[in-house]
Amino acid sequence: MKMAPNAFLAAIRAGRPQIGLWISLSHNYAAEVVASAGYDWLLVDMEHAPSDMATVLGQLQAIAAHGSTAIVRPPWNDAVMVKRLLDMGAPGLLFPMVQSVQEAQAAVAACRYPPQGVRGVAGSIRANNFGRITDYYARAGDETAVLVQVETRAAVAQALDIGQVGGVDGVFFGPADIAADMGLLGKHMSQEVWDLILPAARKLMDAGIPVGTLVTDPAFAAKLLSDGFTFVACGTDTNLLAKGADALLAQMRAATEKENT
């Protein structure tokens, strides 16, 4: 058995826009509901969601059957956590709060076997279908998506250098944290924030480096993709559930009040 190509990685390398959704509910059943929708990629969050290794495993198993590529965000740029997530079969990782070229290099190294990196070698793991994928060790480095987040003004200033680190497959702008770093906490859609992000993103695009982000405004997400962003998440499962619950209750309250007048 040969290793299957990483569909998400092939797409962003070819410049094909990829629509994603954030997964924060930390349960395989919820992940399966979303995976059935057909998003190109799904971000399984460990940084700001109550996920652990067991819940991530269940989410990966649920997503795998439906064609979306699962990208896991570890809580930190930690080589031990990375090793375990890759052994578990994560097709790609999104590293939070990468602040320098050196931190980007460390992220890549954690995803590569020696001598290119520091990833420990295991035998029968989910990632190699328990030893059945015969070319896994030779191809894992090329088929694992390594994405890095820039989330401060200092990191945005270094975004091109970070994106040009060998083995980095894409740079993800985190507008919420960038806004907070600018003294605009909670105002991540403000013009000032995007006036900082967009020129840095353009430099990366011009250098042929895929660029991504998360915004929950579908129209703005679509505009970013049309303007050259390659991978954009347009919502979160928690937000969809909250808004759907609120809208349904509001509809019922209004209908009930109308009936009683």
Helix/strand/coil percent split, the chain, to 5: 45, 15, 40
242 exposed, middle or buried (CB, 10 Å; 0-12, 13-18, 19+)?
exposed
Contact yes or no for 107/100 (Cβ under 8 A): no
CA distance 40 to 58: 19
Instruction: Pull the structure tokens for residue 93.
Output: 């990782």
User: What DSSP state is assigned to residue 33?
Assistant: H
d(CA 133, CA 35): 25
| Given 27, 48, 66, 188, the catalytic residue | 48
Q: Left if phi > 0, otherwise alpha if psi is -120 to 50, otherwise beta: which for 190?
A: beta
66 is annotated as an active-site residue: no
Pairwise CA distance, residues 164 & 167, whole Å: 8
The total number of residues written for the chain in this structure: 261
Active site residues: 48
